[in-house]
Amino acid sequence: MIPTGAARLAGVAGDPVSHSLSPILMRLWIEAAGLDAQYAPFPIAPEHFDRAVIGLARAGCVGLNVTLPHKEAALELADTATASARAVGAANLLTMKGMEIHADNTDIAGFLYALEPANINYDRAKALVLGAGGAARALVYALLTVGVTDLALCNRNLTRAEGLARDLAPGASLIPWEARDDVLADRTLIINATSLGLKGRKELTLDWDRVSPGSIAFDSVYTPLKTGFLTGAATRGLTAIDGLDMLIGQARPSFEAFYGQPVPALPDLRGQLVRYLEAS
């Protein structure tokens, strides 16, 4: 339906935000559910973030997804937060009840949703997480909650990986960036949580010949869907999972929080998003 003056307003805040797929995804669900709702992109510069969010709350906005570079600021701004958002140190979901702002991190659930079809035996998994930024923190937190105990962390800036380990995973081993290929033979779940591979950036290169058959590769990047990382993993015959289902998985609880109902079933949702990405 066409949104009326009574439409529930939510959106996504980022800088930039024009690349975000969230407005397309949310619109598909809003239309399928027949909701009187609007989901808008809000480009907000870091120096205006707090005032803009408070202004939106004052104007009746029911919630926001938050993307780069605002995830830490979103957590700091909120009046209340889930324990998981606090542990990760970042929020990608703000919900507003009047002027009360609540923070959550649904990247954690989104990542696990994306891994579901791979049927991973987490107790036995030997994970390698490449990256130590906000996404890596959420992914490491997710892995710990499902019982992964064997975790290796590798980041270009090793001090940042040390901080991640100290905050979330004291038992993790730390791998210098230059030594990443040397640990591959031992790893069964290899995760790109860096921004390498994003459209316009360098690719993340790994010596895939060293990876054991049967291992699983996950790339948090979804633009493009086929990164060099995933192509390398697929060529080696591994299960290669892109970041699109993580995006869908983090958006589901967001939709439910904004509009108060479960996401409608859309059997070809992924196909529609893939076609949109391929055409854009």
Orientation of helix 107-115 relative to helix 244-259, angle to 10°? 130
Residues 6+ apart with CB under 8 A from 86: 75
90: number of Cβ within 10 Å: 23
How does strand 126-130 pair with strand 189-192? parallel
**Would you call 71 a catalytic residue per the annotation?**
yes
Of 7, 24, 40, 68, which lies in the binding site for ligand NAP, with binding defined by CB under 6 A? 68
Q: Name the residue nearer to ligand NAP (CB basis): 57 or 229.
A: 229
**The pair of three-digit structure tokens given for residue 252, joined into one six-digit string:** 């589901």
**Complex with ligand NAP: residue 218 or 259, whichever CB lies closer:** 218
Q: Which is nearer to ligand NAP, 104 or 107 (CB)?
A: 107
Residue 155 lies near ligand NAP (rule: CB under 6 A) = yes
Residue least distant from ligand NAP (Cβ): 133
Q: Is 150 in the site for ligand NAP (CB under 6 A)?
A: no
With tokens 């291992």, the residue in question is 215
Catalytic residue among 71, 199, 202, 226: 71
Is 132 an interacting residue with respect to ligand NAP (CB under 6 A)?
A: yes
Structure tokens at 62: 């029911």
Interaction of residue 134 with ligand NAP, rule CB under 6 A: yes
Q: What minimum distance in Å lies between the beta carbon of 102 and ligand NAP?
A: 20
Angle 140-143-148 from CA coordinates, rounded to 5°: 120
Q: Does 202 bind ligand NAP (CB under 6 A)?
A: yes
Q: How far is the CB of 202 from ligand NAP (least distance, A)?
A: 6
Q: Per CB under 6 A, does 220 bind ligand NAP?
A: yes
What is the nearest approach in angstroms of ligand NAP to the Cβ of residue 219? 8
Q: Rule CB under 6 A: is residue 194 a binding residue for ligand NAP? A: yes
Question: Where does this chain touch ligand NAP (CB under 6 A) — which range of 52-60, 152-160, 181-189, 227-235?
Answer: 152-160
Could you list the residues that contact ligand NAP (CB under 6 A)? 68, 107, 110, 131-136, 155-157, 160, 193-196, 198, 202, 220-222, 243, 246-247, 250
Positions annotated as catalytic residues are 71
